[in-house]
Chain A
Amino acid sequence: MNAILTIENYAKTFCLHERNKLIPSASHVNLSVYPGKLTALIGPTGAGKSSVLKGVYRTYLPSAGRMLFRTASGEIVDLAQADEHLILELRKSEIGFVTQFLHCLPRKSALDVVAEPLFARGVETEEARGRAADLLAQLAVPSHLWNVPPATFSGGEKQRVNLARGLIAQPRLLLLDEPTASLDPATTERVVAHLETLKGSGIAMLAIFHHPDLVRRLADSVIELSPPVAIVEPVEEIA
């Protein structure tokens, strides 16, 4: 089967001008992600797991390497170099990212926060809200919270809203950064079941899990990252 994403020699180094410092956060990363399969990133804190996901999503500008993404129309796009408008388009329709935290919009109900990616794709308001409600129910978010803005929710409730928002549009590639970190065991089970269903429907996933147990249960392949070696030479001032 063809990979949907192939990362070749990705590296990310931050250049902090103020402190005249280069901080490597990931290096020599090579991996592939396949439709219907989950690739898990493991490794100690500081190994650069999140830096890989953020590089793919282009929240970080990759410092080196290629990230070849196969689009729905069969084109191969190097996400590391792609035009910003194309990245925005792919984020809307093909690549989803579930982060640990919900960056919430003020005043919007949980239902609309979750339905937002569907609105962005032009799905009708009522249908989008209906699908959001189904998903919130599946993730056991109590229905009395659906019409309330998530600002006042507990950590676990917020995380489920965040997860629902990331999962609802069923992107072709899903990036997951510790999606179950603050959930209780019963809710974690629901999330696992849901991720299995999504895999079954052909969605490709690149994921970081807090618990080794989840890696064992969900991962089809495991990539171990080790912390990049620190660079000590001072850098030339660019600006």
Chain B
Amino acid sequence: MSNKILSVRGLSRIHGEQCPLCISSTGPENDTNICPHCGSVVAAHDVNFDLYRGEILGIIGESGSGKSSTVKMLYFDETPTAGSATFYDGDVQHDMFALNAAQQRSMRNKRFGMVYQNPHLGLNFQISAGGNIAERLLMSDLKHYGEIRTRAGDLLVRTEVARVRMDQNPKTFSGGMQQRVQIAKALATQPPLLFLDEVTTGLDLSVQAAILDLILEIQHELGTAMIVVTHDLGVIRLLAGRTLVMKHGRVIESGLTDQILEDPQHAYTQRLVASAL
């Protein structure tokens, strides 16, 4: 078994008709992700990286740089226009974008987890917190009502949501608590790979710190590999061992996180780090 859990090559997502000049007229050198010839949006182009088991990879960059597009493609929320991704699940290799819809759904439900910035995307606000988790447990192999209920409660307790809140609707929860329920839901099937998209953005600082701690604890306990998308350098400093920097749909730099922060190579990264000091 290799150490690799995910291998991404040439991953791209272009919105619009596309013309032969889309790539050469966009990107950091052209200071845009919109093709001036055909108006297509190059949300992400030629993203490459390997993720190892238990590793946390950060993706940082300004708004619109393609961070979310990248993880959404990997979580099958969006379809790439080019590129491939291989998921190494134990001894089995999956060519992710060659799978059929049912296989992708199963991978997403059982082997991956996603936590969105906006809890409305990750949670069903028509049902209780426990129900949200039960939904995901039902899609895996757990079928017995009592078992599901116990496990959902355990997950909420693990993410520091009181068990008594299980039957309440997450609509009534604070932002920080909604994120905890999302994390509990994402962890329900004990996936080896978790995507986190701006999970602490917009929360109070103390709530942010507590959620980041929780993420680190989970990574330590379960050895979950994670891709953490953020525009906050503090978040990657705390969580990520390696980091990709994106701008206008391209990865402009990647490296060990402390190196990206202390010895950034690209002009854009140097500005980003300098402005955060």
Contacts and interface: CB of A to CB of B under 8 A. Distances in A.
Contacts of A119: 220
Contact of A58 (B3, B209, B256, B270): B256
B134 to A, nearest CB: 30
A159 B165 CA distance: 42
Which of A16, A54, A59 counts the most chain B CB atoms within 10 A?
A59
B262 A60 contact: yes
Contacts of A107: 209-210, 213
B258 A105 contact: no
Interface string B221-238: 000000000000000011
B157 interface: no
Q: Size band of the A side of the interface?
A: 20 to 34
A17 B50 CA distance: 29
A61 interface: yes
Nearest to B51: A85
B214 to A, nearest CB: 10
Contact of B209 (A18, A103, A106): A106
A84 interface: yes
A105 B238 CA distance: 7
Given A17-B270, A85-B52, A88-B242, A59 B263 contact: yes
Interface string B256-277: 1011001101111011001000
A25 to B, nearest CB: 10
Nearest to A92: B241
Nearest to A59: B258
A177 to B, nearest CB: 13
Interface in B148-195: none
Chain B interface, >50% SS class: helix
A194 interface: no
A131 interface: no
Interface residues of B, number: 30
Contacts of A237: 267
Contacts of B266: 17, 239
Contact of B263 (A14, A18, A85, A87): A14
Contact of B213 (A15, A54, A58, A105): A105
Nearest to B254: A84
Interface string B193-215: 00000000000000001101100
Contacts of B268: 239
A238 interface: yes
Contacts of B237: 103
Contacts of A58: 256, 259
Contact of A84 (B28, B220, B242, B263): B242
A108 interface: yes
Which of B242, B252, B263, B266 counts the most chain A CB atoms within 10 A?
B263
Nearest to B263: A60
A60 B263 CA distance: 6
B64 interface: no
Interface in A26-83: 54, 58-61
Contact of B265 (A61, A106, A120): A61
A204 B55 CA distance: 28
9 contacts: A18-B267, A54-B263, A58-B259, A59-B256, A60-B259, A85-B3, A108-B213, A239-B29, A239-B266
Given A58-B256, A87-B256, 13 more contacts: A17-B267, A18-B274, A58-B259, A59-B258, A59-B262, A60-B263, A61-B255, A61-B265, A103-B237, A105-B238, A107-B209, A108-B213, A119-B220
